[in-house]
Amino acid sequence: MAAGVPDHIHACLFDLDGVLTQTAIVHARAWKKTFDDFLRQRATATGETFTPFDPVTDYDRYVDGRSRADGTRGFLQARGIVLPDGTPDDPPGSDTIYGLSNKKNQFLLGLLATDGVKSYPGSVRYLDSVQASGLHTAVVSASENCHAVLAAAGLEGRFDAVIDGVVAKRDKLAGKPAPDTYLAAAAALGAPAAAAAVYEDALAGVQAGRAGQFGWVVGVDRVGQAADLRADGADVVVTDLAELLTADHRDE
């Protein structure tokens, strides 16, 4: 098990937010601002009780790892709220799926501009080890801001392939928990799914790894959901990718 990777693995497919970069918290803040503004206005108009978006539980269950539109739709459905899809050009904040999604992106870009982006040091160490061993690597992200985040974190150009929200939209790839984007990344690296590893912090992403029958699915537990990651198909769960370089995890 060289470089913390089983011998049958020849390609490593990394989620971005929460695995390589510390942007999951920023995404959660942007989602909370978006949904709380919407829910508060709705409560005022209808007399319903205002129940705020939970940036841990709701984020993990409904939006993490999914496209903006799918995340918006999933959370609202969980609250029993149905909005029209609208169009991708809807003004931010419109009462449509795309309008709220665009508002979330507006908030996110503002937070990235003010707070910047940090990578996880342990993930960079692990990436260095994997690439030094000659394994091919790809980033798989639902974000259409993937390249901007990679650049801000100093990771742009480090990967053999990037399958992001822009590619998914262009190629009509279903988002996580469907395995389509990970399968596209494996194909771009010339590796069958059985010879590729998936690294994910999102439940939907781990589900995608299992659905695609990938050779190794690693769950990265940043928020205390190790049991859920295992239940959804992770072969091993760590709190930091650097743990995979230790002897204990080489035996798993």
138-190 pLDDT, tens digit each: 999 988 889 989 988 899 999 999 999 999 999 999 999 999 999 999 999 99
Q: Catalytic residue at 17?
A: yes
Mean pLDDT of 223-230: 94
pTM score: 0.80
CA atoms within 13 A on the CB side of 34: 35
Whether residue 54 lies in the annotated active site: no
pLDDT 10s digits, 82-119: 999 999 999 999 999 999 999 999 998 888 888 888 99
Q: How far apart are alpha carbons 64 and 62 in whole angstroms?
A: 6
Residue 249 pLDDT more than 70?
A: no
SS3 90: coil
Report how far apart, in Å, the C-alpha atoms of 23 and of each of 96, 113, 143, 213 are: 25, 12, 11, 27
Q: At what angle do helices 24-46 and 68-78 cross, to 10 degrees?
A: 40
- Which one from 15, 60, 232, 235 is the annotated catalytic residue? 15
Beta strands in the chain (DSSP E): 11-14, 136-140, 161-163, 196-200, 216-220, 236-238
Single out the catalytic residue among 17, 64, 70, 180.
17
Which CATH architecture best describes the domain 2-23+118-250? 3-Layer(aba) Sandwich (3.40)
Note the pLDDT tens digit of each residue in 25-54.
Answer: 888 999 999 999 999 999 999 999 999 999
Residues 6+ apart with CB under 8 A from 57: none
244 SS3 class: helix
Q: What ranges do the domains of the chain cover? A: 2-23+118-250, 25-115
CA distance 220 to 239: 5
pLDDT score, position 177? 93
